[in-house]
Amino acid sequence: MSLVQRKFFSDFEKEEEWLNEMAAKGLALSEYSWARYVFEESGKREYIYRIELLKEDPKGPEAAGYLQFMKETGAELVPTGKWLWGLLKYNNLRWVIFRRKASEGAFTIYSDIDSKIRHYKRVNSLWMSLAMMELIIGLLNISLMFVNNPTALNMINLVMGLLLIILSLFFISISRPIRQKITKLQNDKLIRE
C-alpha cells in the first residue's frame, strides 16, 4: 500500500527528521519529487535517511563516483519522480535523499566539522543565488515600469517586480539559519584547534 504525502520543506534538516519519523512509524520513502513523497509500508525503523546537496549534477563524473561510494557503504539513493505536472524529471537536481538499513548501524554523511561547513555553504550558496536572481529580475521588472509609456503593462511589471522581491526576501530568510550554523561550526572548529 502506498501513501502519498505533500509537504514543503525549506530546511533540509527538518525534512530529514520528518523522513526518519515516518520510518519510525513503518513507512519507507520509495519516491520523491518537489513537495511530494511516496511511502511504502516497511518494518518500523527499517531505514535511516540523510539528505545532501551534491557539489555537482548527479550525472557528472565526480558525483557519479561519490554516489558509487555511498552505494558501497550500504546507502541507496531514493528514486525521484516527475515534477512540474509530470513534464520534467527531478533527478537532474543536486538534492538527493539517501537511505540505509538501520540494522547496518549509525548513518552519517559528514564525519567532521569541515565537511559539514562545506555542505552548509553549498546550501547557503543555492538559496542566496536564488535570492539574487529573483531580486535582479524583480528590479528589472520595476525599472521597465519607468521605461515604458504609462499602460496597464506598467502595473503588471510593478506587481511582478514586487512579488519577485518578496520571493527574494523569502530565500534570504531561509538562508539566515544556515549562515548561523556555519558561524557556529566555524567557532566550534576554532575552539577545538
SS3 content of the chain, % helix, strand, coil (to 5): 55, 20, 25
Per-residue confidence band for 86, with pLDDT thresholds at 50, 70 and 90: very low
Residues 95 and 135 in one domain: no
Q: Are residues 9 and 93 in the same domain?
A: yes
Q: Does residue 125 fall inside a structural domain?
A: yes
Lowest mean pLDDT among 20-29, 136-145, 147-156, 173-182: 147-156
Domain assignment of residue 177, given as a range: 113-186
DSSP E strand stretches across the chain = 2-6, 27-33, 36-41, 47-53, 76-77, 82-83, 88-89, 95-101
Considering the domain boundaries, does residue 168 fall inside one? yes
User: Is 10 contained in some domain?
Assistant: yes
- In this prediction, residues 30-48 reach a mean pLDDT of 91
Does the pLDDT value for residue 83 go beyond 70? no
Residue 95 and residue 122 in one domain: no
| Degrees, nearest 5: CA angle 70-71-74 | 95
Say if residue 120 is in the same domain as residue 178. Answer: yes
Whether 138 and 168 map to the same domain: the answer is yes
Residues 6+ apart with CB under 8 A from 17: none
Half-sphere exposure of 27 (CA within 13 A, CB side): 15
pLDDT digits (tens, 9 = 90+) for 124-148: 999 999 999 999 999 998 888 777 6
User: What is the spatial order of strands in the sheet that 76-77 belongs to?
Assistant: 47-53, 95-101, 76-77
Q: Which residues pair with 78 in a beta bridge?
A: none
Looking at the structure, do residues 45 and 26 belong to the same domain, yes or no?
yes
Kind and range of the H or E run holding 179: helix 152-192
Establish if 141 belongs to a structural domain: yes
The residue to which cell 512509524 is assigned: 25
Same domain for 35 and 71? yes
Clarify whether residues 96 and 35 are in a common domain.
yes
Assess whether 119 and 100 both reside in one domain: no
Residue at 74 is within a domain:
yes
The answer to whether residues 44 and 72 belong to one domain is: yes
- pTM for the complete prediction? 0.82
Please identify, among 104, 128, 146, the residue that sits at the C-terminal boundary of a domain. Answer: 104
C-alpha cell at 111: 564525519
Mean pLDDT, the chain, rounded, equals: 88
Q: Which of 104, 134, 150 is the last residue of a domain?
A: 104
102, 45 Cβ separation under 8 angstroms: yes
Per the structure, how many domains does the chain have?
A: 2
- Alpha carbon 13 to its chain centroid, in Å, reads 9
Picking from 104, 131, 146, the residue at the C-terminal end of a domain is: 104
Ranges of H-type helices in 25-96: 61-72
